[in-house]
């Protein structure tokens, strides 16, 4: 493999995540200087704004926001703001872990010479891109549609009433619940500017939330690819070649290194996953209630909007659970790969090491939310069952 081809593989695996995380100062391979700190502060401020603005609106209205839709939007934005700020603070504080693992990933691409191993790495990079682009595009499309909806609503209100838009009797919609705040500062005449600015803030906050998710999931998929390569090396280990001790011990050291990296990532993401799953479960229930209420009042726009949000939340939850489950299964399958090798032909000193490898695979490193909730497909199914059971009872109570 040529160096040019290796550089293309690195760009294929890394560039999409660099484009989304660099503007908020979270890209692990950037220069950590004053400018990256400023970008990180700005990224955190976007997440804090979508938390603070709905809180201020609730305070100014004494908790009585105009519609149920705005109430649920306020709750959704506040919780998303908390999640985004948590990710920025924790990931930036532990940036050394990401720097070390991403540099290791770059080195893996530079040192690869086997076509089959390269295909495995490309496949896992492709899986990351396959999930990354649709979710990010969905987030931006949702923000854009919301902005257009607010602008059209303001134009319709103005055309129907033939009044000045600054009239206090005219209620305008904004991407973030902020009508009373804007009226307090007597800035209602600039409503179009505020709608665009708020839409940009919400879009940039997606970088702090979704972007950081994929920064983490991308490196997890890379580790899964490295484990699959390691399994193939164990299975195809040739005992007839020289330096059996050195080659087999190198595989054991590689396994220990991958376990160490995975353990560091698991400790890093533990609290974030706890916040993520707790708030996601709550938001699914809240947005589900909004869907049920919208069906009762025949509000098609609210139904579609709520279903889009629920779909995004479920996708985000499923991504973590699927990749967490995939990582655990790959760790467990190392033992099977060792068993399928010609281990019975190895020297007796090396066969003793196989026992320790098998013992490690019995208790594999896995992602846990708060160090007590396993992040796997079973957890995802449990969240869905609990949430939809609540919505089923709620639907019967409201009689939809």
Q: What is the mean pLDDT of the chain?
A: 84
Cα gap 16→214, rounded to integer Å: 10
Q: Is 163's pLDDT higher than 90?
A: no
In 3D space, the residue among 321, 273, 263, 220 whose CA is nearest the CA of residue 90 turns out to be: 273
What are the b/e assignments for 68-91, b being 16+ CB within 10 Å?
Answer: ebbbbbbbbbbbbbbbbbbbbebb
Per-residue pLDDT band for 125 (boundaries 50, 70, 90) equals: very high
Cα angle 248, 253, 3; round to 5: 90
- CB within 8 Å of 8: residues ≥ 6 apart: none
Tens of pLDDT along 42-75?
A: 888 888 888 888 888 877 776 555 566 777 778 8
pTM: 0.89
Cα gap 83→51, rounded to integer Å: 10
DSSP state of 207: I
Per-residue pLDDT band for 400 (boundaries 50, 70, 90) equals: low
Separation of first and last alpha carbons in the chain: 62
pLDDT of residue 155: 75
* CB-CB contact of 233 with 255 (8 Å): no
For 171, the token pair is 């209620």
Mean pLDDT of 237-265: 90
Compute the radius of gyration of the chain from its Cα atoms.
25
Rounded to whole angstroms, what are the CA distances from 393 to 235, 280, 385? 52, 19, 12
* CB-CB contact of 287 with 72 (8 Å): yes
Q: Which residue has the tokens 């294929």?
A: 12
Beta strands (DSSP E) in 252-312 are none
pLDDT of residue 121: 93
DSSP state of 210: I
How many helices (H) and strands (E) would you count in the chain? 12, 2
Mean pLDDT of 181-208: 82
Per-residue pLDDT band for 171 (boundaries 50, 70, 90) equals: low
Q: Which residue has the tokens 């938390």?
A: 51
pLDDT of residue 66: 58
Distance of CA 129 to the CA centre of its chain: 13
Q: Is 334's pLDDT higher than 70?
A: yes
pLDDT of residue 185: 77
* CB-CB contact of 368 with 320 (8 Å): no
Tens of pLDDT along 21-44?
A: 888 888 999 988 889 999 889 888
Cα gap 109→6, rounded to integer Å: 6
Rounded to whole angstroms, what are the CA distances from 397 to 90, 92, 293, 385? 41, 45, 11, 18
Q: Is 244's pLDDT higher than 70?
A: yes
pLDDT of residue 230: 93
348 phi and psi, to 5 degrees? -60, -35
Four-CA torsion 257, 261, 264, 270, nearest 10 degrees: -130
Query: How large a percentage of the chain has pLDDT more than 90?
Result: 21
pLDDT of residue 190: 79
Spell out the domain ranges in the chain.
Answer: 3-398
Q: Is 221's pLDDT higher than 90?
A: yes
Tens of pLDDT along 336-362?
A: 898 888 888 888 888 888 888 888 888
SS (H, E, C) 302-320: HHHHHHHHHHHHHHHHHHH
């Amino acid at each position: 493999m040529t160096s040019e081809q290796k550089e293309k593989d690195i760009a294929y695996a890394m560039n999409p995540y660099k484009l989304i995380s660099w503007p908020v100062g979270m890209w692990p391979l950037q220069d950590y200087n004053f400018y990256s700190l400023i970008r990180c502060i700005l990224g955190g401020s976007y997440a804090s704004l979508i938390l603070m603005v709905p809180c201020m609106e609730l305070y100014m209205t004494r908790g009585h926001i105009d519609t149920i839709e705005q109430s649920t939007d306020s709750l959704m934005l506040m919780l998303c703001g908390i999640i985004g700020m948590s990710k920025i603070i924790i990931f930036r504080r532990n940036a050394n872990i990401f720097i070390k693992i991403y540099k290791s990933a770059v080195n893996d691409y530079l040192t690869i010479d086997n076509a089959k191993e390269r295909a495995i790495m490309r496949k896992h990079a492709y899986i990351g891109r396959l999930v990354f682009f649709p979710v990010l595009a969905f987030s931006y499309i949702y923000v854009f549609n919301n902005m257009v909806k607010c602008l059209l609503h303001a134009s319709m209100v103005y055309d129907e009433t033939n009044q000045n838009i600054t009239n206090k009797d005219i209620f305008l919609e904004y991407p973030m619940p902020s009508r009373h705040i804007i009226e307090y500062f007597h800035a209602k005449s600039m409503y179009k500017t505020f709608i665009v600015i708020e839409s940009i803030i919400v879009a940039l906050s997606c970088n702090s939330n979704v972007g950081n998710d994929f920064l983490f999931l991308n490196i997890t998929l890379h580790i899964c690819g490295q484990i699959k390569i390691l399994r193939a090396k164990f299975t195809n280990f040739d005992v007839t070649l020289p330096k059996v001790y050195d080659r087999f011990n190198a595989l054991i050291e590689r396994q220990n290194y991958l376990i160490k990296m995975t353990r560091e990532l698991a400790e890093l993401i533990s609290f974030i996953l706890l916040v993520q799953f707790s708030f996601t479960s709550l938001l699914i229930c809240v947005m589900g209630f909004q869907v049920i209420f919208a069906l009762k009042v025949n509000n098609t726009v609210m139904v579609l909007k709520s279903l889009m949000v629920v779909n995004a939340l479920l996708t985000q939850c499923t991504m973590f659970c699927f990749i967490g489950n995939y990582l655990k299964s790959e760790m467990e399958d190392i033992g099977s790969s060792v068993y399928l090798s010609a281990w019975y032909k190895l020297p007796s000193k090396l066969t003793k090491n196989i026992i320790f490898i098998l013992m490690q695979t019995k208790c594999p490193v896995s992602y846990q939310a708060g160090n007590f909730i396993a992040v796997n497909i079973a957890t995802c199914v449990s969240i869905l069952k609990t949430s939809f059971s609540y919505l089923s009872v709620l639907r019967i109570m409201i009689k939809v």
